[in-house]
Structure 1
């Protein structure tokens, strides 16, 4: 039987989340979780015979919270709620983002606080396992529940929206027929349960966290490689300095960089003339460590978001109550991603400054712009414009947007987090940094070759070989856009990280 992850509503890890969303690992729902869903549905039907007003159930939503919903119109009301919230705009979410969004909401369904009908929960599971992916626009959410985007999932499960299935875009109803599934007839509480969730920001954020974890490891490797090209002073890596200031993130990065440089010529006596290198070299582990520290903060609250209720109203099964609340509020998570963007902007600029220094003979003792021939080859004379332009974009993207919102819905909804915008702009920063680190890597290996350094560290040697297998020494001027793109793809694919990690595992066996 193929590998499956059992979802319980309280124990989904980020590792399993990424495997399901990206690698299409199948999911199952635990018996206990389904029992909670069924018990919640029974409680919904008990409330149908009650005059107790419940938001989004027998009363409207938003400004219409005072409008009564009569039981015989539950299907019509819930369908209209889906239609009315379908106001998202392009671009459309990628396949992995849609899978992540479905998974994020499925996980919070299983906490058992929605009252949604069990058939919808099962359909979410089947859409993941059979890769039936609703077409979801990514923009339009203010991050107080991604209602304008998730409503398009509601269209699909009613058989009225569009999905991508088996490589084709088609009507959801047709895809369900091919897959042996049936569209859902909505009932009480279903519409609000589908749309009132932060699943888009949570799902996209979980994927982004994995990307940043990989990126910071790669940044440590590229920094170590640049140290060898720069002939940098390794004293700031001394373990004793970190023992008297044990800040977790920077200690982690410094340990990794020391391991990558194990056996390097940099550790030989009297190699480095400089008493202290520029701050962009001297303090890189500290800057990278700040990204790691911010990442740990985000991971804590992201896991909380994935494994707890985000529903309003919140169904309390044991107390047999359904209460209005603010469990949809994700300001802490939004602020965490804002912090990550700011930390990444520091990493971005640090990389740019290292690259600039590598081109400067005053610091390196090598040729200007790392040219192999001063009078006939320009080499990296113009490339600085590219990576500094990307860094400028990163600085702009790192500006906070979470405090920029309007009071909406008749002044009832007067707070928002802009979570989806924050995650999307942070993802753009990450992608820009892949280019920036790629360009730094080009400079690092060029400097190593010009320096004729033949004693590299265990990790840096592996990274050097991955780059040089794809991009030859710059012996004459050529179209550097091609080299930049190749280096970006090496960074994005994780080839360097895989090569260095495999080497590290081999040395520990």
Structure 2
């Protein structure tokens, strides 16, 4: 992981940056230009407050209470109450990496100067990230029309309430602040709303999911290539000319990757073709994976816009000296991208399951039933078919749309939402199950390759084979397969398998 400081300006944050700050604990710093914008925006807030211009969340209430006047003397109390009353998240708490992603995404948007927040709050995000102070953040309770019920828990920590994790220890925020030499913040006009009114939970965790999705698709390509060798499959569907006449970007990316993985493989010897046409789970894998790559690219582009734009309501227009009510917190554009991605990943899952089943079927492979080493004395991979199909059924249901399941809330003022945090969480759950499914496919592929004996493998498939076999030995006789499956899953998730195959393609 890079340890260089990430300079934030509100306009150039990437999905990769979010990952390095979250998992690599990369330190952050605010650009000088962004500091100037934040200060100028704050000055404008006070100017409007002095003029008593009605501003949502500034001198007027929020939600259904938008008609209630907030007197200057009540600014601190109102903003503190806003944080406390909106802290309504429940359920499992976010991992430290997720909390870091959420704080980073909110910090970056604040630097656009569209919020009017005091500089001390902006600096507190920086302090928490660099000092590795991570608020306890429940993950459930946001409908995605700004993640106010969840982000309020970060606000709790800023004012010295709640709990945080610091140096691996869970402790009261006040104790952590004392250790770090920090003091609780005193909130002023619009500060509470600036902290809570954002989609940073769904966008931050979404960025991490997209990083993981890129890797799972790369793994799917690798294991498919391994299965093709195991099948003695027909490589004519990988011919570059076939794909040039149907040039979807994702499809071209997948087939180029698979061809690289299979360089020097015995499959390219044309006299070894056993089948004129393989099943579509083999023949069309690059088209299927390509569709998922395309969905990923669309979603990444949409989320990248969000990461570097304002989702504040009201929105401070600094140059025009105006502050306007708006709905920029609407996240439906990139939320729909995640739903599309979930559907695409289910196609990847289903195809992997079919390839796995066919690798255990003698009429397709010419090998033993369920790839057993001894058909008379052992059962082999028979029952694992139930495992993968059960996991695929879960993926199928996780891929169902959820963005349209919303209620009209807050006195019928808030009658649209996108359930963005839940949609993102479902996508991550899909990917987690895919690690198992692809891992099981890989176990079948290397078993079939061992049964064939003395194959000349591709540069990438040989590295993939060796990596799997370093974790899971040949299935010579029946044993507890749950252990093997877990080993394969952990190997794929660790990044070691992917790193080894990538290295083989460079050398």
Structure 1 vs Structure 2 CA RMSD: 0.9
* Alignment partners' CA distance in 1, 2:166 and 2:97: 13
Could you say what secondary structure the match of 1:145 adopts? coil
* Alignment partners' CA distance in 2, 1:496 and 1:167: 28
Equivalence for 1:433: 434
* Alignment partners' CA distance in 2, 1:480 and 1:463: 20
Q: Is the 8 A contact 2:3 2:24 kept in 1?
A: no
Equivalence for 1:7: 8
Which aligned pairs between 1:178-193 and structure 2 lie closer than 5 A? Answer: 178-193=179-194
1:385 correspondence with 2:357: no
* Alignment partners' CA distance in 2, 1:16 and 1:149: 23
* Comparing 453-462 and 388-397, the one that deviates more: 453-462
Runs of at least 5 residues in structure 2 that lack an aligned partner in the other structure: none
- Give the direction of change, closer, same or farther, for the CA distance of 1:228–1:2 in structure 2 (3 Å limit): closer
Equivalence for 2:425: 424
- Give the direction of change, closer, same or farther, for the CA distance of 1:268–1:2 in structure 2 (3 Å limit): closer
1:2 offset after TM fit, Å? 5.6
Could you say what secondary structure the match of 2:316 adopts? strand
1:12 offset after TM fit, Å? 1.1
1:501 offset after TM fit, Å? 0.9
Equivalence for 1:43: 44
Could you say what secondary structure the match of 2:151 adopts? helix
* Alignment partners' CA distance in 1, 2:126 and 2:302: 24
1:500 offset after TM fit, Å? 1.2
Equivalence for 2:142: 141
Q: Is the 8 A contact 2:102 2:201 kept in 1?
A: yes
- Give the direction of change, closer, same or farther, for the CA distance of 1:2–1:204 in structure 2 (3 Å limit): closer
1:496 offset after TM fit, Å? 1.8
1:449 offset after TM fit, Å? 0.5
* Alignment partners' CA distance in 1, 2:365 and 2:246: 30
1:159-191 CA-partner distances (Å, limit 9, x unpaired): 011111111111111111111111100110000
Equivalence for 1:53: 54
Equivalence for 1:92: 93
1:454 offset after TM fit, Å? 2.3
* Comparing 263-272 and 131-140, the one that deviates more: 263-272
1:453 offset after TM fit, Å? 3.9
Could you say what secondary structure the match of 2:433 adopts? helix
* Comparing 398-407 and 45-54, the one that deviates more: 45-54
Could you say what secondary structure the match of 2:456 adopts? coil
1:144 offset after TM fit, Å? 0.6
Equivalence for 2:129: 128
The number of equivalent residue pairs is 506
Equivalence for 1:332: 333
Equivalence for 1:256: 257
Equivalence for 2:211: 210
* Alignment partners' CA distance in 1, 2:490 and 2:63: 46
Equivalence for 1:344: 345
* Comparing 338-347 and 2-11, the one that deviates more: 2-11
Q: Is the 8 A contact 2:164 2:171 kept in 1?
A: yes
* Alignment partners' CA distance in 1, 2:378 and 2:362: 16
Equivalence for 2:153: 152
* Alignment partners' CA distance in 1, 2:238 and 2:279: 14
Equivalence for 2:479: 478
Equivalence for 2:321: 320
TM-score of the superposition, structure 1-length normalised?
0.98
1:54-82 CA-partner distances (Å, limit 9, x unpaired): 11111111111111111100000001111
1:375 correspondence with 2:376: yes
* Alignment partners' CA distance in 1, 2:379 and 2:107: 56
Q: Is the 8 A contact 2:114 2:318 kept in 1?
A: yes
Could you say what secondary structure the match of 1:310 adopts? coil
Equivalence for 1:398: 399
Equivalence for 1:71: 72
* Alignment partners' CA distance in 2, 1:24 and 1:2: 8
Could you say what secondary structure the match of 2:272 adopts? coil
1:185-240 CA-partner distances (Å, limit 9, x unpaired): 01100000000000000000000000000110010000000000111100000000
1:348 offset after TM fit, Å? 0.4
* Alignment partners' CA distance in 1, 2:414 and 2:362: 58
* Comparing 207-216 and 1-10, the one that deviates more: 1-10
Give the ranges of 4+ consecutive aligned residues of structure 1 lying more than 6 Å apart after TM superposition: none
Could you say what secondary structure the match of 1:417 adopts? coil
* Alignment partners' CA distance in 2, 1:182 and 1:122: 12
Could you say what secondary structure the match of 1:49 adopts? helix
Could you say what secondary structure the match of 1:289 adopts? helix
